[in-house]
Amino acid sequence: MSKIKVLVVDDSATIRMLLSKGLNLDPELEVVGTAPDPYVARNKIVELSPDVITLDVEMPRMDGIEFLRRLMAAYPLPVVMVSALTEKGKRITLEALDAGAFDFVHKPSGSHGAQGLQDMLTDLRQKIKSAARANLTTLRKSLNRVTAPIARPLAPVRPTALAETTDKVVAIGASTGGTTAIRDMISMLPADFPGTVLVQHITPGFTTMFAERLNEIGTVQVKEAQHGDRIITGRVLVAPSGHQMTVRRSGGFYYVDCVPGPPICGHIPSVEALFQSVAKQVGANALGVILTGMGGDGADGMAAMRKAGARTLGQDEASCVVFGMPKVAWEKGGVEKLLPLEEIVPNLLRLLRAG
């Protein structure tokens, strides 16, 4: 079995050395070269034909996002971003995901010491292996979508009556590739869309900014969920990092509980925890959507939702960056229908109209 060839791009010689040594410890990976900036990286890509690139978020001589966009347009390759957990680093990282990056890891701060570095390298090795199997066509389409402005009303209308209830609850789960897929879905939702709860696997510290960015692109309100928030029409609640988000019913209303807890299916927040609660608390009044992502988080929960009478949809293989979570949910009988990403919202609206 041939090794996955990796090109490390970082302006710090120390980071290039640490990443190279750490990645080469894995028998499935080989660092074939390093580059201190995008211009050197461009030449190394042509010379070395890497399978995956690791790219520092904040690069000299050329804006990292601009380099990524040019790369995805001319020579598409899976890119794993290496991000600093600063506010600027978070913003650029989310822009990079919009521009076609496969995923990201964050550099540990000095306070994390050697263990923080080892944890980051373990995460990076796994994401490089997954990136090598990514759907490049879908990654490249991410660039085309973010380059063109998202069509939306000039003056978005947000619901003003926060006491408004919702007859239905829509539950969405996603992982790798999901930040872009969710952005596209949110841009299509009408202002009177049923209350929605959402789990996106994302590095701790990013959910607040992720929700804020989503809130700027459509007619629904998007916010990071807080314990006890009401699920209401026209609002999307994003599960906060480090917490399991579940749904409970009290009288005729639905609320979210967000509490720290152990990982479920390896994740916190977990799609499985959300979907299982929706199956029990919402039942046939729910609609479920499972999007692109690695692994099988949410598969059993979606099967439970369907058994409870909910309608369920999954993203199809052709439009997924990683056809993992929808595939497992489909195989376990949780998904009624697999659809291209752009058809999911129209189908949800049809199901809602049909009652």
Q: What is the CA radius of gyration of the chain?
A: 20
Q: In order along the chain (355 residues), what is the average pLDDT of each group of 10 residues?
A: 94 93 97 94 95 88 82 91 79 87 83 78 95 86 50 39 66 96 96 97 89 94 97 97 96 95 95 98 97 97 98 97 97 98 97 89
Residues 240 and 125 in one domain: no
> What sign does the dihedral 156-87-77-119 (CA atoms) show?
negative
In the prediction, which pLDDT does 62 show? 77
The b-or-e profile of 197-232 (16+ CB within 10 A means b, else e) is bbbbbbbebbbebbbebbbebbbbbbebbeeebbbb
Residues 183 and 120 in one domain: no
Alpha-carbon distance values, 48 to 5, 24, 37, 339 (Å): 9, 16, 16, 37
In the prediction, which pLDDT does 288 show? 98
Domain assignment present for residue 156? The answer is no
Domain assignment present for residue 112? The answer is yes
Q: Which of 115, 146, 177 is the last residue of a domain?
A: 146
What CATH number does the domain containing 69 carry? 3.40.50.2300
pTM for the model stands at: 0.88
Distance between CA 326 and CA 314 in Å, rounded? 5
Residues 180 and 138 in one domain: no
Residues 119 and 241 in one domain: no
Query: Does the N-terminal peptide bond of residue 78 adopt cis geometry, omega within 30 degrees of 0?
Result: no
Residues 315 and 174 in one domain: yes
Domain assignment present for residue 20? The answer is yes
Q: What is the pLDDT of residues 161-220, one digit of tens each?
A: 334 556 899 999 999 999 999 999 999 999 999 999 999 998 888 899 999 999 999 899
Compute how many other C-beta atoms are within 10 angstroms of the C-beta atom of residue 99: 27
Distance between CA 212 and CA 94 in Å, rounded? 11
Q: Residue 34 sits in which domain range? A: 4-146
Distance between CA 78 and CA 163 in Å, rounded? 45
Residues 129 and 179 in one domain: no
In the prediction, which pLDDT does 85 show? 67
Distance between CA 146 and CA 188 in Å, rounded? 14
251 Ramachandran zone, left/alpha/beta (phi>0; psi -120 to 50): left
The SS3 of residue 75 is coil
Residues 179 and 129 in one domain: no
What CATH number does the domain containing 237 carry? 3.40.50.180
Domain assignment present for residue 153? The answer is no
Domain assignment present for residue 269? The answer is yes
Residues 104 and 180 in one domain: no
Residues 190 and 129 in one domain: no
In the chain, how many domains are there?
Answer: 2
Domain assignment present for residue 291? The answer is yes
Residues 9 and 132 in one domain: yes
In the prediction, which pLDDT does 154 show? 34
User: Which residue type is seen at 99?
Assistant: A
Residues 232 and 288 in one domain: yes
Which residue's entry shows tokens 């900036």?
A: 37
124, two tokens: 């990076």
Domain assignment present for residue 62? The answer is yes
State the catalytic residues: 175, 201, 297
Distance between CA 248 and CA 282 in Å, rounded? 8
Which residue's entry shows tokens 């822009």?
A: 95
Residues 125 and 180 in one domain: no
In the prediction, which pLDDT does 205 show? 80
Compute how many other C-beta atoms are within 10 angstroms of the C-beta atom of residue 296: 19
**Residue 178 class from Cβ within 10 Å (0-12 exposed, 13-18 middle, 19+ buried)?**
buried
Domain assignment present for residue 158? The answer is no
- Assess contact for 171 and 272: CB atoms under 8 A: no
In the prediction, which pLDDT does 286 show? 98
Distance between CA 140 and CA 323 in Å, rounded? 16
Distance between CA 288 and CA 306 in Å, rounded? 8
